Amino acid sequence: MFALPEDFLQFMRDVYGTEAANAWFQRLPSFLEECEERWQLKLLPPFENLSFHYVAPAVRADGTPVILKTCEFSDEFAHGLAALRLFNGRGIARLLESDEEQKVMVLERLQPGTMLASLVPEQDEQATSILAGVMRQLWRPAPTEHTFPTVEQLGQGLTQLRARYAGGYGPFPPRLVDEAMDLFVTLSASAPQTMLLHGDLQHHNILRSGDAWLAIDPKGVVGDPGYEVGASFYNPMPRILEVPNLEQMLARRVAQLSEELGMERARIRGWGLAQCVLNAWWCVVVNDRLSMNPPRGILRCAEILSRLKV
């Protein structure tokens, strides 16, 4: 098969351990050949910017361009797959084939596939409006019975932060952590409705498809729809950190999302701050080398939102 990007090889070894990652890399070529035969695909070289999954473009026997995505380590695969089935192509790339046990799926390939991140910062107002529009298309009432993680459960990750640092905060600003923990509780408790959300809807996960913009890579999360706006306040990373008037940009995003989604500004600001802190902590969890140096750029966005008057 095709050579894997060196950065991807090292990333998987760092996250899952050298022995486990290398064993998967050895099994991967034969597995991909099985997928090609099973679904009548011609696989092309994988994308360069891979992280937790092997993702490659492919062509079906009838010439339809598609995407194949797989990783046997993924603990989010089942939730993402279930979300794709429920979203059913509305506001998101369509699921075409899947095998939950083997953790592999074939998806509609969005073309030209331009990332929404390409509009920032020059066309940030337009990009924010596109984000809001995709949110409105995606959201739907949560199933009565489900196994999706809830927003409240995700917020409990910040209690793990305190435990990690023996009840302290380590390199994290105490005021921001305390405020984020409080926001997860109060905003979840006051949620006007409980919805099925994408869970990571930001500028790198929305692509152009013809004249439309559609989401990719849902995590599948259930809770307050306001939670969905949070990831947009520290993205697109790292480009957002180069904006000279970042405070002004984030304030405008709060106001614009409030108007377009019909949510209170305080709720949007709060979810932005809470998710900035949580994401910075997740970076530490994923990569222990960051344990004494959490992503300062994301925390900078949290600090701006903390000071923002709404």
The residue among 190, 207, 85, 194 whose CA lies nearest residue 139 is 194
Backbone CA torsion sign across 201, 202, 208, 212: positive
Per-residue pLDDT of the chain (310 residues; tens, 9 = 90+): 689 999 999 999 988 999 999 999 999 999 999 999 999 999 999 999 898 999 999 999 999 999 999 999 988 999 999 999 999 999 999 999 999 999 999 999 999 999 999 999 999 999 999 999 999 999 999 999 999 999 999 999 999 999 999 999 999 999 999 999 999 999 999 999 999 999 999 999 999 999 999 999 999 999 999 999 999 999 999 999 999 999 999 999 999 999 999 999 999 999 999 999 999 999 888 766 434 467 899 999 999 999 999 8
Residues 69 and 145 reside in one and the same domain: no
Residues 96 and 127 reside in one and the same domain: no
Does 1 reside within a domain?
A: no
What integer pLDDT is reported at residue 291 of this predicted model?
45
Residues 95 and 159 reside in one and the same domain: no
Does 299 reside within a domain?
A: yes
Residues 60 and 188 reside in one and the same domain: no
- The CATH number for 31's domain is 3.30.200.20
Residues 67 and 131 reside in one and the same domain: no
Model confidence over 131-166: pLDDT tens digits? 999 999 999 999 999 999 999 999 999 999 999 999
Domain end, chosen from 109, 143, 169, is at: 109
- The CATH number for 125's domain is 3.90.1200.10
What integer pLDDT is reported at residue 286 of this predicted model?
79
Residues 239 and 150 reside in one and the same domain: yes
Residues 196 and 241 reside in one and the same domain: yes
C-alpha 64/C-alpha 300 separation (Å) is: 43
Domain end, chosen from 72, 94, 109, is at: 109
Contact 180, 58 (CB under 8 A): no
Domain count, the chain: 2
Residues 11 and 78 reside in one and the same domain: yes
Domain end, chosen from 57, 75, 109, is at: 109
Residues 67 and 184 reside in one and the same domain: no
C-alpha 6/C-alpha 13 separation (Å) is: 11
Residues 135 and 199 reside in one and the same domain: yes
> Taking the complete model, does pTM exceed 0.85, yes or no?
yes
C-alpha 102/C-alpha 243 separation (Å) is: 42
Residues 93 and 62 reside in one and the same domain: yes
* Domain enclosing residue 170, as ranges: 113-307
Residues 239 and 95 reside in one and the same domain: no
Does 289 reside within a domain?
A: yes
